[in-house]
Chain A
Amino acid sequence: MLDFINPYYLQIGSFILINILLAISVYVPLSSGQLSLGSAGFMAVGAYTSALLTINFDLPIYIGVLAGACVAGILGIVIGIPSLRLTGVYLAIATLGLGEVIRVIFVNWDSVTKGSIGLTGVPQIGRELLTLVRGFGFQPDMIGLKNNQFVYLMVFLLLFIIVIATLLFFVRQQNSRVGRSFSSIQMDEKAAESMGINIMYFKVLAFAQGAFLAGLAGALFAHVMGYISPSDFSYHRAVEILIFTVFGGSEVIIGSIFGAVFLTLMPEVLRFVSEYRYIIYGIMLVILMAVRPQGILDIHLLGRFKGIKGSKGGAR
């Protein structure tokens, strides 16, 4: 019964959802003109904070995840304020350096993080949820599901709710005073400042929001996988996250979603692609920058969709 609820598809679905969070974590700072390559580092901070809290102090997962996201967000503020002096490529390099420093610390801080072996036995969201509903006297086979189907389904649904909530928040923010300030800073910082926009506040806000999101995604990643190691958060991960946003379209939030969905699905659907994934990513970045630097989806394309479909349009 209900065989179409395939754990494999649901797992990929969960990865897509986590990657959407990560793509947005690059998009938000970028929408205020800041390119951050530190998302893998913030992700690591979130993942390790949450994993260590839940393993060593038996805290419930949701507290661990929240703490992980908050620690990453606070680190984002701490790094964001002095980084205000940096713009463009300098910020990109400083954040890239930050990500590498974080990774090296996690590799070397053996006593706490178990070094490059990584942390095993991170409590998994799915199992905890299963125990929880069992506590209410509910069994998965009551609705005709096997245990593992139920577990993966619950994880997927939970992540789906988190992603939808995040998206709603950021779409609303984009159309608010805050979002307009972000884009005016992106267009011309000096002009924005002369119009009375508090550059420092909004830039740090965008940067910290990105860090918070990356930390959240990292913490969720840890509790979905049940295992994390520093190599999960390397430079390659940072580049991959960047590609989600740059490929999908860095001007519109739906671009990040499209990029994350498409690029996570591609290696799964086309198996032979998986092996050459990074080679394809590399070629893609070069071609994209030359031909369509704003990414696949941009405002004009979305505008055309709106024109054809009438009422239904993109999230912008």
Chain B
Amino acid sequence: MIRLLLEQLINGITLGSIYAIVALGFTLVFGVLGIINMAHGEIFMVGAFVGVMTTGVLGWPLWLSFIASIVVTAILGYLLERMTLRPLRGKKGVSHLAPLISTIGVSILLENLSHHIFGAGNKPFRTEFAEISIEFGQVTVYLVQIVIFVISIILMIGLSIWLSKTKAGKALRATAENLETASILGVDTKKIITLTVVIASAMGGIAGILVGMAFNSVSPQMGLAIGLKGLAIIILGGMGNVKGAMVGGLLLGLSETFLVAYGDSGYRDAIAFIMIILILLIRPQGIFGSKIAEGR
């Protein structure tokens, strides 16, 4: 009984840390640009496919496919910012819904492109790495789970330090607070915004490879599911709030795992959406948010 509980706890934390990384990508973009990047889930999916292709078809070692996936998703992030977000910025008469609709466009484009290229079904993600496990007493822990947890912790701490200590991070926060003031004070806001979207997308790519490793399957539809969950998490944790994204991710991961273990697994995917609706209605600013949700 305890053993099962512990294993579920570990599964939940693994899932939760992946969700947290996805949510960090959302929250970075929202924090700086005030827009919701609906294409983030699909960038994540592309990252996972790069992992599958490089390890499975090309036979690259895992670290190399990590780099490949980061590079590809970073380029996608750059293109996203350059072609869909920048043209909308500062243009007169563009409603605040335009970037949302535009990124929805990118998301269905990416999803269906990979549907055409890779086919509709699940692709297995084979690495011998995924089979290695360690026994702690009666509890089995897979090495992959530890790696995922460590990588996500490193990412979170790194991001926090980068945001609070480095010059670029400070510039980013200044831009997030007020774009015009930051640019008057000499911050190259254009560069900062591009950097933000690129970093967020690369984090999506990392999360994609981690998911591929953890669940051993990748499909074009996974972007949508994970993307919507990422949205749920940042709404839960508070929009644009880094700490909220981490806590929200862990909460969602744990509650999903325990629902599957002890309840009705069919409703697993509904948790995130029910969470969105409840949070928006009860506390629209999220757990850690301070601002009240206003139209942006």
* Physical interaction between A and B: yes
Taking the complex as formed, is B100 at the interface, i.e. its CB lies under 8 A from any CB of chain A? yes
CB distance from B287 to the nearest CB of A (A): 15
Q: Is the CB of A94 within 8 A of B96?
A: no
Chain B 71-115 residues near chain A, CB threshold 8 A: 83-84, 87-88, 93-102, 104-113
**Given A87-B295, A89-B35: A282 touches B106 (CB 8 Å cut-off):** yes
Query: In the complex, are the beta carbons of B277 and A97 less than 8 A apart?
Result: yes
| Given A96-B228, A289-B101, A290-B102, A87-B273 contact (CB < 8 Å) | no
Which residues between 301 and 316 of chain A lie within 8 Å of chain B, taking CB atoms? none
Task: Check: B264 CB closer than 8 A to any chain A CB.
Answer: yes
Known: A88-B97, A93-B276, A98-B277. A286 touches B284 (CB 8 A): no
* 5 A-B pairs with the lowest CB-CB distances in the bound complex, closest first: A285-B105, A282-B109, A87-B295, A88-B295, A97-B273
Q: How far is the CA of A276 from the CA of B113 in the complex (A)?
A: 9
Partner pick for B280 among A94, A108, A282, CB 8 A cutoff: A94
B 116-129 to A, binary, CB cutoff 8 A, 1 in contact else 0: 10000000000000
Residues of the A chain whose Cβ atoms lie less than 8 Å from the Cβ of B272: 97
Q: Which of A104, A279, A289, A290 has the most CB of B within 10 A?
A: A289
Q: Answer whether residue B206 sits at the interface, using C-beta atoms and an 8 A cutoff.
A: no
The verdict on A284 contacting chain B, using a C-beta distance below 8 Å, is: yes
B294 close to A (CB within 8 Å): yes
B259 interfacial contact with A, CB 8 Å: no
Q: Is A92 part of the contact surface with B, judged by Cβ < 8 Å?
A: yes
User: A152: CB under 8 A from chain B?
Assistant: no
A35 engages B97 (CB within 8 Å): yes
Known: A289-B98, A289-B99, A289-B102. A93 touches B231 (CB 8 A): yes
Main secondary structure of the interface of B (DSSP, over half): helix
Establish whether residues A87 and B231, one from each chain, have CB atoms under 8 Å apart when the complex forms: no
Interface residue? B235 (CB, 8 A)? yes
CB < 8 Å: which of A35, A82, A89, A284 contacts B281?
A82
Q: A286-B106, A289-B98 are in contact. Are A97 and B276 (CB under 8 A)?
A: yes
The verdict on A88 contacting B109 (CB below 8 Å), with A105-B270, A108-B267 known, is no
Residues in A whose Cβ lies below 8 Å from that of B284: 85-86, 90
Contact A104–B277 (Cβ < 8 Å): no
Query: Measured between alpha carbons, how far is A235 from B231 in the docked complex, in Å?
Result: 15
| 30 A-B residue pairs with CB within 8 Å | A86-B293, A87-B293, A87-B295, A88-B296, A89-B97, A89-B295, A90-B293, A94-B277, A97-B277, A101-B270, A104-B269, A105-B270, A107-B266, A108-B266, A108-B267, A246-B101, A279-B109, A282-B105, A282-B110, A285-B105, A286-B83, A286-B102, A286-B105, A286-B109, A289-B88, A289-B101, A289-B102, A290-B87, A293-B88, A294-B93
